[in-house]
A = this chain, B = another copy of it.
Amino acid sequence: MSTSVTVLAGGVGGARLAHGFALAASSPSENELALTCVVNVGDDTERHGLHVSPDLDTVMYTLAGLNDEERGWGLTGESYATLAQLERLGEDTWFTLGDKDLATHVVRTARLRAGEPLSTVTARLAAALGIDARLLPVTDDRVRTLVSTPSGTLAFQEYFVRRQHADAVLGLTFEGVDAAGPAPGVLDAVSDAALLVVAPSNPFLSVEPVLAVPGVREALRSSRARRVAVSPIVGGRAIKGPAAQILETLGHDVSALGVARLYTGLVDVMVIDTADAALAAPIEDLGFEVLVTDTIMGGPAGRERLARELLRPGGPHR
């Protein structure tokens, strides 16, 4: 029997867990596993006239086994000859783009300009890289995350890369989201999955702009799937990125419990790290099942182990 798994993903955390499922899917015991990743596009940006989709690319490169594991983003074995020349030509090069990575943006941009929707472009790129999983941008429409800070409203990459997420986040808006619609296949992937996983991605910057696309949150609420969220906060700290600071400035508990409160009514199971075992009881009190396990996915083995744990017959359990 085929098991359909859908992962709602941002960048690194989502990419790693999705990779775990892909690795599990490639083993004989799970050869009926069909993986779909629904990915945030709120951090998409235009650099040097090229359309860059950082989260889609992180998931795509990771699933293709081409991700630079040390940095967490971009391709392995990169060079930067074009970027150096762009700088010489007077371009602002604070957003690092490798030579190989640029090929993705060049192709994507050309096809978008030719009228292809982002979902079609993404499927073609993923196929070219030999990816079996289905990779879906949450929307083909233009959604852009804007970050309110004490220094004013910043475009997402301005906040995240250029200013290295040092500004306090006072609020987030997803420009264009009200007029956006889910990309083809997104709602079905959320509704019809056997297992739906909210990846350990930033709840505000990665997960919320996925859920904010009209129809997605409702599909998640009413999904027939077993719905699982993996906390990106472990021991009161984010595994990567500014999730902890944002939880704090927005008035939430900087903990897996704080994350669980955000996902109340949306998922059935909270997966928290063994370091946070003491939070299992209060999270259960919110109405969740809780799975306490090692959630720090280092290399491929750790990712696959976590994915398999979520796939266990009967689903994840305490």
Q: Pull 14 A–B residue pairs with CB atoms less than 8 Å apart, ordered by A.
A: A48-B107, A49-B106, A50-B106, A50-B110, A79-B99, A81-B100, A82-B99, A82-B103, A85-B102, A86-B107, A89-B107, A89-B125, A91-B103, A102-B106
In the complex, how many angstroms separate the beta carbon of A31 from the nearest chain B beta carbon? 26
Partner of A99, one of B49, B50, B81: B81
| Cβ 8 A contact of A103, one of B79, B86, B109, B128 | B86
Choice from B49, B85, B98, B113 contacting A104 with Cβ under 8 Å: B85
List chain B residues, Cβ under 8 A from A99: 79, 81-82, 85, 99
Query: Is A162 in the interface zone, CB < 8 Å from B?
Result: no
Distance in angstroms from A266 CB to nearest chain B CB is 36
* Interfacial chain B residues near A101, Cβ < 8 Å: 85
Residues of B within 8 A of A89 (CB): 103-104, 107, 125, 128-129
Q: Is A124 at the interface (CB under 8 A from chain B)?
A: yes
Complex Cα spacing A110 to B48, Å = 6
A99–B111 CA distance with the chains assembled, in angstroms: 20
A83 vs B89: C-alpha distance when bound (angstroms)? 20
* Copy count, this protein chain: 2
The verdict on A88 contacting chain B, using a C-beta distance below 8 Å, is yes
Most buried by B among A109, A111, A113: A109
Contacts of A50 in B (CB 8 A): 106, 110
Closest B-chain residue to A110, C-beta based? B49
A212 to B292, alpha carbons, bound, how many Å?
Answer: 76
- Determine the chain B residues whose CB is within 8 A of the CB of A107 once the complex forms: 48-49, 86, 89-91
Closest to A86 in B: B103
**A88 in contact with B49 given A79-B81, A100-B82 (CB within 8 Å):** no
Residue of B nearest to A111 (CB): B49
Given contacts A85-B104, A91-B107, A102-B102, 12 further A-B contacts (CB under 8 A): A49-B106, A79-B81, A81-B100, A82-B103, A85-B100, A86-B106, A86-B107, A88-B103, A88-B128, A89-B103, A91-B103, A106-B106
A84 to B82, alpha carbons, bound, how many Å? 14
Contact with B along A16-52 (1 / 0, CB 8 A): 0000000000000000000000000000000011100
Residues of chain B within 8 A (CB-CB) of A84 are 100
Q: Chain B residues near A109 (CB, 8 Å)?
A: 49
| Chain B positions within 8 Å of A129 at CB level | 88-89
Q: How far is the CA of A125 from the CA of B104 in the complex (A)?
A: 24
Bound-complex Cα distance A187 to B98 (A)? 42
Q: How far is the CB of A48 from chain B (nearest CB, A)?
A: 5
> In A104-121, which residues have CB < 8 Å from any B CB?
104, 106-107, 109-111, 113-114
Provide the residues of chain B in CB contact with A49, threshold 8 Å. 106-107, 109-111, 113-114
Query: In the bound complex, what is the Cα–Cα distance between A79 and B84 (angstroms)?
Result: 12
- Taken together as a complex, chains A and B put the C-alpha atoms of A259 and B284 apart, in Å, by 89
Which residue on B lies nearest to A114, using beta carbons?
B49
Which residues of chain B are within 8 angstroms of A82 by Cβ–Cβ distance? Answer: 82, 99-100, 102-103, 106
Q: What chain B residues lie within 8 Å of A100 (beta carbons)?
A: 81-82, 84-85
